[in-house]
Amino acid sequence: MASTAFWLAVCSVAAMNSLVFLCSQKVVADFDSLQDALGFLPKELYPVLFKAAFMDKRTLSLQLLVNTWPFPVLSFQKLLRKCQHCERALIREKPNKYCIQMVISGVVTYLIKLLENRRGSKSKGPQQRLQILDMTGLQDEGQGPESMSLWSRTVTLAKACLDISKQQGKWTRRTSKRRKSPYSKPPGPPALPPVSVDVWVDLFVNSTSYGVLKDALQINSYNALRLRCRDFRAEELSIASTVGLLEFLDPVGVRQVDLRFNNLGLSGLRVVLPHLTKFTNLASLKLPYSNVDVRRLTVGMEGSLQYFANQLSRLRCLKELNLGSSRLSGKLRLLLGDLQSPLESLELAFCYLLPNDLAYLSQSLHTPALKKLDLSGNNLSDCLLQPFQGLLMEAAPTLLHLDIMECRMMDTHLNVLLPAICRCSRLRYLGVFGNPISAKGLKNLLHKTVGLLDLKLVIYPYPVDCYGDDLPWPPTSSNLLNGNVDEEKFFRVSNELQQMLLSANRADVTWTTNLCRHNSLDFFSL
Ligand SMILES: *[C@@H]1O[C@H](CO)[C@@H](O)[C@H](O)[C@H]1NC(C)=O
Ligand SMILES: *[C@@H]1O[C@H](CO)[C@@H](O)[C@H](O)[C@H]1NC(C)=O
């Protein structure tokens, strides 16, 4: 015994994957032997077997494990994270399409079998074990050949709900036909199913998938497979459709609502916002590209703006707000002044903010609580610079994430901000892409921020001295985006930056011009 324990300990320290994990990989590789062995294996091994099967894409084994899952909860976040047996955090990778499909179909067959047993035999059949399938936390990195986007997962799950409902429907119809008599009462609401599984999930819908999701949500309350939405995202959906879906979401479970490119305008927001106040745990509201424009307000619009602010203040748990790409010039106090508790994340990119907006913000209850601030696309080369510097000083103790991309900042403006940036001692991320900064300015930024020990990612612009002579001055963001960068010159600068990081012992910081890294930074993971 002692020596086995000793070797297990050695293995788990010495190897990336423990002996238990290596054995699990062997077991799930052979479906027949897994089937034979399952009855004898202690149920404590299910999690590691699941991870091994998911990692090696043993889809049949995966389905079998789901079918016989011995615990009430099957959670992707818990099962696919880095664990004592295997270092890999599969939850942070693109989810494999076939594995996800198999888990869903595993739950469907499990439920159908249970329902059949309940119906067929007088005895109640096997006890229900699995109650919750938690699919939240999976990545959404778009559609690859083998990966599955959030959009497709939403469609797949909605279809699974409809499939189960059809099965249930067939049985109910058969029973009700048998019972039919001239004196029978008219049918009431459908009966609750004897067994059910809740699927906790993030949903992403557009007009293409609206119909199927609506159908699935509509039958949710009496279906054996039920969608419980955590984060809800709708893109390019009409006001009526958006409201049509919000109506069916669980009031307690929803954490985030993200309505983008929906062109709602103030009048649309007026309709949608009251439907959000029922979500008692709503912590994040994202309304980018809502097409709100407060310049030249008519009297009616002023009222709508006030109403919008009022509805916002009724979201008692709100921590994150994104109003990006709406023109809010001069109206920030009106919009945020009624909120009772502080926001921790505020995204106001391309909002045409004025100095009095930033002055209000730096005095507001939000600023000392801010973890994430996005002021990209606001002109910091002019009269916004001083108030922004003041704001940054106030937010510095808490700020983890700062985006000031495409702000027309040159070296001189950056130099004004540097003392405030250096005060952000907990800063993990800084985005300055799309600003006309020189190589010298970037080196100065690196030199000054190298002491920010939590800083792990900086997205910096192509230095202006790496562009051709035809770059207009001062350049706009689109001049910078579309201008020609001399690859050789840029290569030299980026090398110098890397060297500076190395000699400062900060190989742990990523300095990059690549915006892709930016997408994975989520407020809830801060
Ligand atoms: C909805 O999203 C899916 C997946 O990204 C896409 O294939 C489809 O074209 C979109 N529909 C519309 C109407 O844009
Ligand atoms: C930003 O400010 C600069 C002044 O430095 C001005 O020239 C420019 O027109 C402003 N840009 C916008 C889009 O307001």
Domains and CATH numbers, the chain: 368-383+393-521 (3.80.10)
For ligand 1, atom 10, which residue shows the shortest CA distance? 208
Q: How far is the CA of 383 from the centre of ligand 2 (A)?
A: 9
How far apart are the C-alpha atoms of 363 and 373, rounded to whole Å? 15
Q: Residue 262 is which amino acid?
A: N
How far apart are the C-alpha atoms of 201 and 324, rounded to whole Å? 26
Instruction: Give the pLDDT score at 5.
Output: 47
* Top mutation candidate among 329, 351, 379 for ligand 2, by most atoms within 8 Å of CB: 379
Which token pair is 8? 């297990």
Does 238 contact ligand 2 (Cβ within 6 A)? no
Q: How far is the CA of 464 from the centre of ligand 2 (A)?
A: 18
pLDDT in tens, 199-250: 999 999 999 999 999 999 999 999 999 999 999 999 999 999 999 999 999 9
DSSP-derived letter for residue 465 is: G
Instruction: Give the pLDDT score at 125.
Output: 63
Strand partners, 232: 203, 257
Residue 444: exposure state from Cβ atoms within 10 A (0-12, 13-18, ≥19)? middle
Does 313 contact ligand 2 (Cβ within 6 A)? no
Q: How far is the CA of 524 from the centre of ligand 1 (A)?
A: 26
Per the model's pLDDT, the better-predicted residue between 2 and 420 turns out to be 420
How far apart are the C-alpha atoms of 275 and 291, rounded to whole Å? 19
Question: What mean pLDDT do residues 334-354 have?
Answer: 97
Nearest ligand to the CA of 385 is 2
Parallel/antiparallel/unpaired status of strands 429-431 and 345-347: unpaired
pLDDT in tens, 366-388: 999 999 999 999 999 999 999 99
Question: What mean pLDDT do residues 157-175 have?
Answer: 85
Q: How far is the CA of 236 from the centre of ligand 1 (A)?
A: 9
Does 381 contact ligand 2 (Cβ within 6 A)? yes
Which token pair is 274? 């009251």
Instruction: Give the pLDDT score at 183.
Output: 55
Q: Which of 41-50, 295-304, 330-339 has the lowest mean pLDDT?
A: 295-304
Q: How far is the CA of 30 from the centre of ligand 2 (A)?
A: 66
Nearest ligand to the CA of 235 is 1
Instruction: Give the pLDDT score at 297.
Output: 79
* Top mutation candidate among 353, 381, 383, 413 for ligand 2, by most atoms within 8 Å of CB: 381
Instruction: Choose from 10-19, 176-185, 385-394 the range with maximum mean pLDDT.
Output: 385-394
How far apart are the C-alpha atoms of 157 and 382, rounded to whole Å? 50
* Closest atom of ligand 2 to CA, residue 408: 1
Question: What mean pLDDT do residues 496-504 have?
Answer: 98
For ligand 1, atom 11, which residue shows the shortest CA distance? 208
* Top mutation candidate among 375, 382, 383, 478 for ligand 2, by most atoms within 8 Å of CB: 382
How far apart are the C-alpha atoms of 444 and 446, rounded to whole Å? 5
Q: How far is the CA of 205 from the centre of ligand 1 (A)?
A: 9
Instruction: Give the pLDDT score at 64.
Output: 96
Question: What mean pLDDT do residues 406-423 have?
Answer: 98
For ligand 2, atom 1, which residue shows the shortest CA distance? 379
* Closest atom of ligand 2 to CA, residue 474: 7
Q: Mapping DSSP to helix (H, G, I), strand (E, B) and coil, where does residue 108 land?
A: helix
Q: Mapping DSSP to helix (H, G, I), strand (E, B) and coil, where does residue 74 land?
A: strand
* Closest atom of ligand 2 to CA, residue 379: 1
How far apart are the C-alpha atoms of 158 and 63, rounded to whole Å? 19
Residue 487: count of CB within 10 angstroms of its CB: 9
* Closest atom of ligand 1 to CA, residue 207: 13
Strand partners, 321: 285, 346
Does 329 contact ligand 2 (Cβ within 6 A)? no
Q: How far is the CA of 515 from the centre of ligand 1 (A)?
A: 23
Question: Please, are residues 280 and 316 in contact by the beta-carbon 8 Å criterion?
Answer: yes
How far apart are the C-alpha atoms of 490 and 462, rounded to whole Å? 7
Q: How far is the CA of 494 from the centre of ligand 2 (A)?
A: 29
pLDDT in tens, 33-48: 999 999 899 999 999 9
Pocket residues: Cβ below 6 A from ligand 1: 151, 206-208, 236
Q: How far is the CA of 412 from the centre of ligand 2 (A)?
A: 15
Q: pTM of the full predicted structure?
A: 0.92
For ligand 2, atom 12, which residue shows the shortest CA distance? 379
* Closest atom of ligand 1 to CA, residue 208: 11
**DSSP secondary structure letters along 292-328:** -B-TT--HHHHHHHHHHHHHHTT-TT--EEE-TTSB-
Q: How far is the CA of 259 from the centre of ligand 1 (A)?
A: 15
Instruction: Give the pLDDT score at 116.
Output: 87
**Percentage of the chain exceeding pLDDT 70:** 91
Which whole-number Å values give the CA distances from 282 to 247, 255, 285, in the listed order? 15, 5, 7
Question: Please, are residues 283 and 254 in contact by the beta-carbon 8 Å criterion?
Answer: no
How far apart are the C-alpha atoms of 275 and 520, rounded to whole Å? 29
For ligand 2, atom 6, which residue shows the shortest CA distance? 382
pLDDT in tens, 55-78: 999 999 999 999 999 999 999 999
How far apart are the C-alpha atoms of 100 and 343, rounded to whole Å? 35
**pLDDT at 194 > cutoff 90:** no
Does 17 contact ligand 2 (Cβ within 6 A)? no
For ligand 2, atom 10, which residue shows the shortest CA distance? 379
Mean residue pLDDT of the chain comes to 91
Does 408 contact ligand 2 (Cβ within 6 A)? yes
Q: How far is the CA of 207 from the centre of ligand 1 (A)?
A: 7
